[in-house]
């Protein structure tokens, strides 16, 4: 008997498009069907992600957790449209991202995904406001609207009063808040955070996790990638990855 993943892979182009429309109408932001990422190393095939089926709905707060080498970073890169799968289908907010070309993937990344990285990735010579504006420049948003939206994003992370400061004039926690504001400024479908507290001390890390909780409560969909159990526990659902496969997918009680 064919699995749902196989059945979906065998759909025609029009049927795949209709499936995307159906997923979007059901509030599904992320849906993967039998997702694989295989690397060839010499005469070996390394399956970094092996047949993963994931469903994440709008408004969820999900942690993807696993030890080093488990495949969680590869899965994050696939979900974030930073890489393409070897096999399988990936729908992001109703669009079939797994079949997109590089330029389409770049557009969907800028529109649908807000990235938060461990290392902040801020431009050193630009102010907090200018750093937050950056995705809007790529999106072609006019200057006045850009400034307003960047200010609003900084306000949402309690940093409006520091908007003219450069990264070297901000603490680690404040820099991460700027990075979160930049991730939010395009009003993305998902906020994708990769080890967001990794470069912070534990007290500042807890403050950043409290901010994520607030963003979740205001309606943002958050996908958090971490190897730390205590950080994953802040989410409301944990997907455990091991050897490229989903080992467990469970709700977190708070």
Contact 99, 84 (CB under 8 A): no
Report the 10 Å Cβ neighbour count for 102.
Answer: 9
Predicted confidence at residue 239, as pLDDT, reads: 97
β pairing state of 87-92 and 95-96: antiparallel
Q: Which of 4-18, 20-34, 133-147 has the lowest mean pLDDT?
A: 4-18
Q: Which of 9-13, 105-109, 117-121 has the lowest mean pLDDT?
A: 9-13
Bigger pLDDT: 11 vs 88? 88
pLDDT in tens, 173-225: 999 999 999 999 999 999 999 999 988 999 999 999 999 999 999 999 999 99
% pLDDT > 70, the chain: 98
Residue 20 has pLDDT above 80, yes or no: yes
Residue 131 C-beta-side C-alpha neighbours within 13 Å: 30
* pLDDT confidence band for 6 (50 / 70 / 90): low
Contact 123, 130 (CB under 8 A): yes
Looking at domain 4-251, its CATH architecture is: 3-Layer(aba) Sandwich (3.40)
């Amino acid at each position: 008997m064919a699995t749902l993943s196989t059945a979906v892979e065998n759909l025609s182009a029009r049927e795949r498009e209709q499936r995307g429309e159906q997923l979007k109408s059901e509030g599904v932001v992320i849906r993967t069907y039998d997702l694989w990422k295989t690397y060839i190393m010499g005469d070996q095939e390394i399956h970094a992600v092996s047949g993963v089926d994931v469903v994440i709905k709008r408004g969820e707060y999900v942690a993807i957790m696993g030890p080093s080498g488990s495949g969680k970073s590869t899965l994050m890169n696939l979900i974030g449209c930073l890489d393409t799968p070897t096999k399988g289908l990936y729908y992001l907010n109703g669009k079939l991202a797994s079949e997109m070309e590089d330029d389409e993937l770049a557009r969907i990344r800028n529109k649908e995904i807000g990235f938060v990285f461990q290392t902040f990735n801020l431009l050193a010579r630009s102010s907090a406001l200018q750093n937050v504006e950056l995705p809007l420049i790529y999106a072609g948003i006019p200057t006045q609207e850009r400034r307003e939206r960047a200010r609003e994003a900084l306000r949402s992370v309690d940093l409006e009063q520091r908007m003219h400061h450069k990264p070297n004039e901000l603490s680690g926690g404040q820099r991460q808040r700027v990075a979160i504001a930049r991730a939010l400024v395009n009003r993305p479908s998902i906020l994708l955070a990769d080890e967001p507290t990794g470069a912070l001390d534990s007290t500042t890390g807890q403050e950043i996790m409290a901010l994520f909780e607030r963003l979740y409560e205001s309606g943002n969909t958050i996908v958090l990638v971490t190897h730390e159990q205590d950080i994953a526990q802040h989410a409301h659902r944990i997907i455990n990855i091991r050897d490229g496969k989903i080992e467990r997918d469970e709700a977190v009680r708070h």
